[in-house]
A and B are shown apart, each in its own frame.
Chain A
Amino acid sequence: GAVVSQHPSWVICKSGTSVKIECRSLDFQATTMFWYRQFPKQSLMLMATSNEGSKATYEQGVEKDKFLINHASLTLSTLTVTSAHPEDSSFYICSARDWAMGWTQYFGPGTRLLVL
């Protein structure tokens, strides 16, 4: 149980285009979802926290107009990287939590984004 999927697993796009990444909790309802980015050989950096039906809370330094997060249902959150630039190339990972299951977060497999 507690499986989280992400789609796509990798994406290559041209600079200036927008990319949408989906995060789904497959066998539980995710009251809270988190989005992280990770650069090579670095730790996970929390970008934003979203609760179902509410606006996401962004970490300091993360542009909310560039990284659009939608958590419209208890099983789906999306991250849209708008007007992507090469410096947005990174590994994006989501995680999900259901408070009924406790405090533990369950992570997706990640999405590798390369912006050319």
Chain B
Amino acid sequence: GESVGLHLPTLSVQEGDNSIINCAYSNSASDYFIWYKQESGKGPQFIIDIRSNMDKRQGQRVTVLLNKTVKHLSLQIAATQPGDSAVYFCAESANDMRFGAGTRLTVKP
């Protein structure tokens, strides 16, 4: 069936390095995507979104890339900091807020 999924369950990076978190989606009807960050014991926080008529969107230290051809979404975090350690989820509009497994990002000092 249609699904939103994350390629990797865990990602460990050195502080200061860039991080790339990937997400695969399979519902071509999705026209809106969101990345969320969830810190331990807290609810998810909105990070950045992108519409399907765009292939790139930048925020503060974060960039989301959308490749509709291969149904792939990625979140890039520049100069990763310890405060970026969290689980990251992507969500797609056609799969109304059903989350994939998430990727746990660990930042090593």
Contact = CB atoms under 8 A, between A and B. Distances in A.
Interface of A: 4, 6, 34, 42-44, 46, 49, 91, 93, 95, 103-110, 112
A43 B97 contact: no
Contacts of B43: 4, 6, 93, 95, 107-110
B102 to A, nearest CB: 5
Interface string B22-47: 00000000001010101001111110
Interface residues of B, number: 21
Instruction: Please classify the interface of chain A as helix (H, G, I), strand (E, B), loop, or mixed, using the class held by over half of its residues.
Output: strand
Contacts of A93: 43-44
Interface of B: 32, 34, 36, 38, 41-46, 49, 89, 91, 93, 96-102
A106 B49 CA distance: 13
B102 A43 contact: yes
Given A49-B96, A110-B42, 12 more contacts: A4-B43, A6-B43, A34-B97, A43-B101, A44-B44, A91-B41, A93-B44, A103-B93, A107-B36, A107-B44, A107-B45, A109-B42
A104 B97 contact: no
Contacts of B97: 34, 46, 95, 105
B19 to A, nearest CB: 19
B99 A104 contact: no
Contact of B46 (A49, A106, A109): A106
A46 B96 CA distance: 10
A91 B91 CA distance: 20
